[in-house]
Amino acid sequence: MLRSTIALSVLIVLNSAFDLNHIEPHIDILLKPLKTSDERIRQHGYPAESHFVETTDGYILNLFRIPYSPRLGNQHDRRPVVFIQHGLFSCSDGFLLNGPENAIAYNFADAGFDVWLGNARGNIYSRNHSTLSPVSPKFWKFSWHEIGTIDMPESIDYVLEQTGESALHYVGHSQGGTVYFVMLSSRPEYNVKIKTGHGLAPAVFMGNVTDSIVSALAPYVGSPGMGTNLLSDQPFVPYNPHVQRLLDTACGGEPAYPKYCKTLFLMWAGDEQSNLNATLLPQLAETHPAGISTNQGIHYIQLKVSNKFRQYDFGSKKNKKEYKQEEPPEYPLEKITANTFLYYGLNDGSANSKDMKRLPGYLPNLRLFYEVPNPTWGHLDFIFAKQVKEEINKPVIQYCKDYEDQY
Ligand SMILES: *[C@@H]1O[C@H](CO)[C@@H](O)[C@H](O)[C@H]1NC(C)=O
Ligand SMILES: *[C@@H]1O[C@H](CO)[C@@H](O)[C@H](O)[C@H]1NC(C)=O
Ligand SMILES: *[C@@H]1O[C@H](CO)[C@@H](O)[C@H](O)[C@H]1NC(C)=O
């Protein structure tokens, strides 16, 4: 969702200019979801659990679980584990909104899996810390590097411990794919804990992102400098209940949704909505954006400018301190030895097909490199398209089942 990152960065610039954040910072940042993922799951008659994982650096992450399927009644059978990780601006709700027939979380449960949904630090579910308050800038000093090197491995360890399994299947959309690459290249000992890993439009190389706003903002935040100093370490358009409720009422149940619902959605999704399940719009508005740190957006824009997949650029002075070199180190993708499956679309402005095509050359154990044949397939279609069950969910689940049958 890079396009949206950028649209929202513009808002942040405006925010800073007018000092709007100043008015009531606490209200937005300390919000609770209107309806939690476990409530959503139970409403559909599935069992749900809520778990908390405290990371070694103090962030308290909220994971959700669909332990088994009531349709199968398989609570006493052995169930392989799948861990599903959301994209930028999203949260665990994203994998539930299509409902029990079409959302990947339920589809996995109905295929006999024990389903776990992650939530990255800073989103609406994981905005808590053992010592830092989310109203403090220190809380927001992280990018997706920390999500990949800390949140993911520690969530996975927790899930493996809870389930008594030694490895699991991983599915990540967009940033959920980015952090898969970060985790397995930076902490290669996690490769053995992944049975199969599925990147749905993972954002890795970004050089070919052709967005006019990216280009417009790149000079300001694409490399370290005043723009970055001004914008780093803050919550990035936090979830706002007033806006959410308004949208919920205004967009709800409308067959041809009002123009501004569309506009709001476009802010997050770009213009790629040809395949989108429009019935979802009110729920999307209710649950997104779920919150990120500005550094996550800045880090992506840095990738666009450098055309490299590498760590956060703090500027040469601080880089020397952090990395012992002036340029940020590149992630060593060749260390990713887990069975990896990649899926990409031709109308995706964020995980652009040209950039995707650079990946196979780096990955020693790529099992699938799948281009969705529908030429209009966009970034959010991997989660919210009308055809998502047939086009994405079914094959992903089948590859996981094939692995289970084989081993
Ligand atoms: C944050 O986590 C602490 C420690 O687990 C807990 O006591 C507290 O209730 C949590 N706060 C919120 C707002 O969830
Ligand atoms: C765009 O994609 C091509 C082909 O994969 C690649 O060679 C190039 O480095 C990418 N980035 C830019 C900025 O062109
Ligand atoms: C579209 O979204 C609605 C509302 O969540 C859901 O009930 C329906 O199953 C979805 N349809 C498809 C084809 O995904």
At residue 49, φ and ψ (nearest 5 deg) are -130, 150
What is the CATH superfamily name and number for domain 36-240+290-406? Alpha/Beta hydrolase fold, catalytic domain (3.40.50.1820)
Decide: 308 in ligand 2 pocket, CB within 6 A.
no
Proximal ligand: closest to the CA of 384: 3
- Which residues contact residue 405 at a Cβ distance below 8 angstroms, ignoring those fewer than 6 apart? none
Ligand 1 centroid to Cα of residue 128, in Å, is 6
Name the CA radius of gyration of the chain, rounded.
Answer: 20
**Nearest-angstrom CA–CA distance, 170 and 195:** 8
Lowest-confidence segment of 37-46, 214-223, 377-386 by average pLDDT: 214-223
* Contact yes or no for 174/342 (Cβ under 8 A): no
Domains of the chain, by residue range, sit at 36-240+290-406
Average pLDDT, the chain: 84
pLDDT at position 371: 98
pTM for this model (two decimals): 0.88
**Nearest-angstrom CA–CA distance, 235 and 175:** 17
Which of 60, 125, 158 is the pocket-test mutation for ligand 1 (most atoms within 8 Å of CB)?
Answer: 60
Closest CA to 92 of 30, 53, 146, 41: 41
Ligand 1 atom having least distance to the Cα of 128: 1
Burial 94-108, CB ≥16 within 10 A → b, else e:
bbbbbebebbbbbbb
pLDDT at position 396: 98
**Nearest-angstrom CA–CA distance, 114 and 68:** 6
> What sections of 44-174 are H helices per DSSP?
99-102, 104-110, 144-146, 152-163
Per-residue model confidence as pLDDT tens digits over 2-32: 444 444 444 444 333 333 333 334 445 666 7
In this structure, are strands 81-85 and 168-173 parallel, antiparallel, or unpaired? Answer: parallel
Which of 26, 124, 128, 133 is the pocket-test mutation for ligand 1 (most atoms within 8 Å of CB)?
Answer: 128
Closest CA to 287 of 36, 18, 105, 85: 36
Ligand 2 centroid to Cα of residue 92, in Å, is 32
pLDDT at position 289: 67
DSSP 328: P
Proximal ligand: closest to the CA of 55: 1
pLDDT band at 63 (very low <50, low <70, confident <90, very high): very high
Q: What positions carry a catalytic annotation?
A: 174, 379
Ligand 3 centroid to Cα of residue 104, in Å, is 12
**Nearest-angstrom CA–CA distance, 63 and 163:** 14
Whether the pLDDT of residue 212 is over 60: the answer is no
Per-residue model confidence as pLDDT tens digits over 107-163: 999 999 999 999 999 998 999 999 999 888 899 899 999 999 999 999 999 999 999
Helical packing angle, 2-18 and 294-306, nearest 10°? 120
Decide: 307 in ligand 2 pocket, CB within 6 A.
yes
**Nearest-angstrom CA–CA distance, 254 and 279:** 9
Closest CA to 87 of 274, 300, 375: 300
